[in-house]
């Protein structure tokens, strides 16, 4: 699933990993552009799953997005989201933005920050969310 608004959000499933590629700024339109596909993808994940958030091309979010993102994060947690592997490269700014958001949650997923895709897949495999790295599409 791909949405194209001010920001772009691509989402797909691989084993027990929900993979999201975020490009540009997070805005309400990109978050809500394909609700049926997003709901279907999350509900297909089961009771215990991880996300791989590729944030290398993410351009952060505005303050008015925080309430929407927190609501979305709470919904993910209620639907089995246990861990988030955030692929941020070497950006401390992106890490700080994710932490500021997640710190507003009463319960939060296990949070892992990595610089490379290989590090992300290694953590996901070692923690039992998948048995191999996804092949390039």
In the chain, where the domains are located: 2-126
> Which pTM was predicted?
0.90
Between the alpha carbon of residue 67 and those of residues 15, 41, 45, 75, 120, the distances in Å are 30, 22, 24, 12, 28
**How many Å apart are CA 99 and CA 29, to the nearest integer?**
23
- Provide the residue-wise pLDDT of the chain in tens; the chain has 137 residues: 444 456 787 889 999 999 999 998 887 777 777 678 888 999 999 999 999 999 999 999 888 889 999 999 999 999 999 999 999 999 999 999 999 999 999 999 999 999 999 999 999 999 999 999 998 75
d(CA 14, CA 133): 9
SS3 12: strand
How is domain 2-126 classified at the architecture level of CATH? Answer: 2-Layer Sandwich (3.30)
């Amino acid at each position: 699933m791909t949405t194209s608004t001010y920001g772009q959000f691509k989402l797909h499933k691989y084993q027990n990993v929900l993979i999201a590629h975020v490009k540009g700024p997070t805005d309400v339109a990109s978050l809500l552009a394909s609700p049926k596909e997003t709901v279907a993808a999350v509900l297909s994940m089961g009771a215990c799953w991880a996300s791989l958030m590729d944030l290398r091309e993410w351009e952060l979010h505005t303050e008015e997005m925080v309430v929407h993102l927190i609501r979305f994060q709470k919904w993910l947690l209620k639907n089995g989201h246990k861990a988030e592997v955030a692929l941020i490269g070497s950006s401390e700014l992106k890490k700080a933005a994710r932490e500021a958001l997640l710190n507003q949650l009463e319960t939060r997923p296990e949070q892992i920050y990595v610089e490379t895709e290989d590090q992300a897949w290694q953590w996901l495999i070692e923690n039992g969310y998948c048995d191999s790295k996804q092949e390039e599409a």
